Amino acid sequence: MGIAEAQRSTYEAVLRLQDAPFVAERPPYFSPAAAAQDKSNAPGAYGYFAQTLLPLEYTNWVEECGAHVTSCYVGDWSSLHKVVVRGREARAFLGWLGMRDLSRFELGQIKHHVQLDQNGWVASEGIVCRLDEEEFLYTAGSGDWLIWQLGQGSWDAEVQDVSPDRFIFGVQGPAALDTLEALTGESLRDIAFSRSRMSKIGGVPVRVLRTGISGELGYELHGPSEHANEIWSATVTAGERFGIRQLGLRSQPVQHIEAGIATNGLDYLPASILTPGAPRQFRRGTPGGSFVPEGGVTDYFRKPGELGWGFRKGLPDRDFQGRDALAADAAQGEPQRTLVGLRWNAEDVAGILAAPFGGGDLPDPMELPRGRGPVFDQVLAGGRRVGVSTGRTVSVNLRSTISLCVIDPAHAAPGTDVRVLWGRPGTAQREVRATVTALPFKPDRRRTDVSALPSSQV
């Protein structure tokens, strides 16, 4: 059995037996590039990204967390759900399911696709790439909501889950372009931000997408699983002279916080969890942190405007799912919470990290560089709840502890002092001083004009 057949067989078995005990009754599922990655995975430690087990780190998290700023990294996002939507009404369906206007959608173009439920809560979120006139690829933490929604209507379109058949490698950082041009042997400067086109690596057709999850110049490589090992290895080799690093799972989510990007399942829970379209990929654990929901599970949900995904020019006239709910919200005229950054006080953070070496009750520990699951912490001003902090992480690039925060407008101005309540209820909680900061935390370099960059030797 080849890699492609083994990947699909194991993927389908994991989905079928997702509630079965691990190993004995449910098979472990690794990246299609696991063999190539294992050569550099000296610690031999793995963690879950969706159903997939990925190396936690290759060298150390401090080095890997800085690579997208100092050089570049290659990271494995093959765990993402990959769903092809094709058919005469494929674009019409996607236009109804998501907030973005898809009436002008070029071949190879990429669009952020935020999908709402009927109450206006974010149900799923990812990117859509137009592959052909009637064919689109949706990649996200989960595509289950999309698949279920298509089945609820009578659209002349079909979906195909190609998750185990394709790899997704991210190459992000100032040396990303040099690395990929050396890898492909051709100039890639014609690929504008949020655009893609086909190329070849060692004769293997791959799609090169210009994306920016790190907030830096960055790309993705999409290709067939059976060639994942050779292309991972070739990418590492091509990037060696540019200082490339392999990015472990431990460091993957850090860059999202630096770039001010909320992540599904970590910084909010998707409203789809209450439906048959609930994500199969994220079924492990419950949210941690000091936040205590007063209104039930919907307190973990978010409206698009709260995550920076609202409409700049007001609600459009076109129809999409959840529009009526957003219109009702706008008619009420109530101030909407907004997404900001928080810089945590270094002295207070150091006190929590050093607590095991002192006396008194121990607070909840702080994982470094950040925790691996969803953590929601209360944000206080004058002793009153004014927001919710998520994604607390140590940024070696900023030399600071940072997080995202959905906060009341009255406290959203940069420079505002607040306090984050650290620790689960019932533990030795501590208040951490924090300062509201504009997002992103560092300059946004995703749209770097690559035509002005020195040409690498292809």
CA-to-CA distance for 171 and 75, rounded, in angstroms?
Answer: 7
Q: Which residue has the tokens 């992000």?
A: 172
- How many Cβ atoms from other residues are within 10 Å of residue 63's Cβ? 15
Radius of gyration of the chain (CA): 22
Low-confidence stretches of the chain (pLDDT < 70) are 282-285, 334-335, 456-458
Where are the alpha helices (H) located in 26-138, listed in sequence order? 34-38, 61-65, 67-70, 90-97
In the chain, what's the furthest Cα-to-Cα distance? 68
**141, 282 contact by CB (below 8 A):** yes
pLDDT given at position 233: 98
CA-to-CA distance for 232 and 229, rounded, in angstroms?
Answer: 5
Select from 377, 433, 369 the least CA-distant residue to 406.
377
Amino acid at 164: P
Between helix 176-184 and helix 228-239 the angle, nearest 10°, is 120
pLDDT given at position 457: 53
CA-to-CA distance for 317 and 323, rounded, in angstroms?
Answer: 9
pLDDT given at position 185: 97
pLDDT given at position 201: 98
Three-class DSSP category at 81: strand
CA-to-CA dists, residue 307 to 114, 126, 269, angstroms? 11, 14, 12
CA-to-CA distance for 268 and 150, rounded, in angstroms?
Answer: 24
CA-to-CA distance for 342 and 438, rounded, in angstroms?
Answer: 8
